[in-house]
Amino acid sequence: MTVDILHHGHINIIEQARKYGDVTIGLLSDAAVADHKRLPYLTYEQRKQIVSNIRGVVNVVPQEEWDYAPNLLKYKPDIMVHGDDWLERSIGALP
């Protein structure tokens, strides 16, 4: 999740995720955002503060790349929820 400009889609996906339990957000680092798009308007710490204050979010972890596999392997979530902009190539090969 980038959350460079918070919008209703972010709130909707977090509300959906809350139905399954505590929500941990993988928040893309500034470098990851810049590699994919451009430098973010808000810094990682500013975006983290915003996301951390959304009801239902209990943890925000850095996501250093667009590939979800490293965070999935590190944090081992029971469930992963993603918006409708999902791309299968967003997850590398999991062992």
Give residue-wise pLDDT tens across range 34-71.
998 889 999 999 999 999 999 999 999 999 998 888 99
- Summary mean pLDDT of the chain: 89
Reported as a pLDDT band with limits 50, 70 and 90, residue 83 is confident
47 inside domain: yes
95 inside domain: no
Q: Which candidate, 42, 46, 48, places its Cα nearest to that of 62?
A: 48
Domain count, the chain: 1
Q: What is the pTM of this model?
A: 0.84
CATH value at residue 20:
3.40.50.620
For residue 74, how many C-alpha atoms fall within 13 Å in the half-sphere facing its CB? Answer: 11
* pLDDT above 90 (res 26): yes
* pLDDT above 70 (res 21): yes
pLDDT score at 92: 52
Radius of gyration, alpha carbons of the chain: 13
- By the 8 A CB rule, do 16 and 82 touch? no
49 inside domain: yes
The parent domain of residue 65 ranges over 8-75
- First-to-last alpha carbon distance for the chain, in angstroms, is 23
